């Protein structure tokens, strides 16, 4: 009112800064939405009046907060680990009065292109990418036009840090920890199961972790013990792939004493194949998984695995996305993993040369 026209009119961000709150809070207060205390609402309305705020200029932002959908783009929706994260994310997004739209991307499709389509068709406040391998040129991310976070995706070497946010464990380091667990039990001929054959993302990182742990222990890597899922349009992370890989491994390499499966679902499929071959776990073969899905505590024997905490990752992912929606900077967070000891791993059997003796 008293502000001269030459001075730019205040934006919702200016009010947020003056009030010491986020822009979403300001928007909620101005639009009479819930989840803002009466004191805060009164203070924001006062400030808006004092600063000469006029809402009409911010129609687009207001629209975003009115129809505030978050797109969750998932590769491998069948993975129980992602399910456990989805549950937490959905609750958090709901608490913040947003709606979560789950977009399932087939394993063979390009997740960023899918996200761009979804963002173009619908008004989205932000995007979470869950899983996937990102070998894109940095340029493609510029087409997204909304804040986004990569969750459980390794850092992208070819994309500047400031262009995206990420939350994940250090897949290479944690995979090395899992393999070291087997080495410490006396295992030497350790197979690795489930690396997608052309993978440049999580699968590759976990394989590099395996190589590092073997090298650190002075053990040669036997390339015949690295078993990859076929390169086709199917989801690589399934019980079925674990079953088939283990079945072939057991018949071709009876000298193996332990298996590192790069996902729990692969491990559970492999355990079925080991049972079917008439072998005992862990007396004949030890199995360690990766992810820490709840199911691992129910299978027989209980699965030893590298746990990445789904709740922590889900919460941080949402937190960072909402920070970015409120104009926060890009962030990169690594969460530590840990071994959950089950009954599927034990000391390497004495007759390590079982195969050689046959």
Question: Residue numbers of the site for its own copies (CB under 8 A)?
Answer: 67, 69, 77-78, 80, 83-84, 86-87, 90, 99-104, 118, 121-122, 239, 243, 268-269, 271-272, 275, 294-295, 297-300
Tokens 């004493």 found at: 257
> Nearest approach, Cβ of 240 to its own copies (angstroms)?
8
Q: Of the two residues 189 and 241, which places its CB atom closer to its own copies in the complex?
A: 241
- DSSP letter at 74 equals E
Residue 228 DSSP symbol: E
- At its nearest, how many Å lie between its own copies and the CB of residue 106? 8
Cβ nearer to its own copies, comparing 15 with 125: 125
Nearer to its own copies, 21 or 281 (CB): 281
Longest dimension (CA), the chain: 94
CA dihedral 230, 232, 237, 242 (to 10 degrees): -30
- Pick between residue 135 and residue 298 the one whose CB is nearest to its own copies: 298
Could you tell me the smallest distance in angstroms from the CB atom of residue 239 to its own copies? 5
DSSP string, 284-304: T-EEEEEE--GGGGTSSSPPE
Edge-to-edge strand order for the sheet containing 332-334?
Answer: 99-105, 69-75, 124-130, 148-151, 165-168, 332-334
Q: Which is nearer to its own copies, 179 or 321 (CB)?
A: 321
CB of residue 261 to its own copies, shortest distance in Å: 13
Least CB distance from residue 153 to its own copies, whole Å? 21
For its own copies, the closer CB: 98 or 189: 98
User: How far lies 98's CA from each of 35, 66, 104, 111, 128, in Å?
Assistant: 12, 9, 19, 22, 13
Closest approach, Cβ 298 to its own copies, in A, equals 4
Tell me the Ramachandran region of residue 187: left when phi exceeds 0, alpha when psi lies from -120 to 50, beta otherwise: beta
> Toward its own copies, which CB reaches closer, 44 or 313?
313
Backbone φ and ψ for 220, nearest 5 degrees, come out as -75, 145
Q: Are 271 and 280 in contact (CB under 8 A)?
A: no
| Min separation Cβ 142 and its own copies, Å | 23
């Amino acid at each position: 009112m008293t502000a001269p026209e030459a001075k730019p009119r205040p934006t919702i961000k200016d009010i947020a800064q003056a009030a010491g709150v986020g822009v979403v809070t300001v928007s909620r207060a101005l639009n009479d939405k819930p989840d803002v205390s009466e004191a805060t609402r009164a203070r924001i309305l006062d400030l808006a009046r004092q600063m000469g705020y006029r809402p009409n200029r911010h129609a687009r932002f207001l629209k975003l907060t009115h129809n505030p959908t978050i797109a969750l783009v998932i590769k491998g929706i069948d993975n129980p680990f992602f399910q456990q994260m989805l549950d937490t994310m959905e609750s958090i997004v709901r608490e913040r009065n947003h709606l979560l739209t789950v977009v399932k991307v087939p394993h063979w499709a390009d997740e960023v292109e899918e996200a761009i389509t979804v963002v173009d068709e619908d008004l989205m406040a932000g995007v979470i990418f869950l899983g996937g391998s990102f070998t894109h040129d940095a340029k493609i991310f510029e087409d997204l036009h909304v804040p986004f976070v990569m969750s459980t995706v390794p850092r992208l070497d070819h994309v500047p840090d400031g262009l995206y946010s990420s939350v994940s464990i250090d897949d290479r380091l944690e995979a090395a920890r899992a393999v070291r667990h087997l080495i410490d039990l006396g295992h030497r001929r350790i197979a690795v199961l489930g690396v997608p054959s052309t993978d440049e993302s999580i699968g590759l990182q976990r394989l590099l972790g395996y190589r590092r742990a073997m090298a650190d222990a002075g053990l040669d890597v036997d390339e015949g013990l690295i078993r990859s899922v076929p390169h086709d349009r199917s989801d690589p992370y399934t019980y079925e792939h674990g079953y088939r890989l283990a079945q072939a491994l057991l018949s071709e390499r009876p000298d193996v004493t332990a298996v590192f499966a790069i996902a729990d679902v692969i491990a559970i499929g492999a355990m079925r194949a080991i049972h079917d071959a008439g072998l005992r776990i862990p007396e004949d073969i030890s199995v360690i998984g990766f992810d820490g899905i709840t199911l691992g505590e129910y299978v027989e024997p209980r699965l030893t695995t590298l746990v990445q905490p789904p709740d922590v990752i889900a919460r941080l992912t949402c937190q960072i996305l909402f920070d970015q929606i409120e104009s926060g900077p890009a962030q990169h967070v690594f969460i530590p993993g840990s071994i959950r000891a089950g009954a599927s791993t034990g000391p390497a059997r004495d007759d390590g040369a079982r195969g050689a003796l046959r």
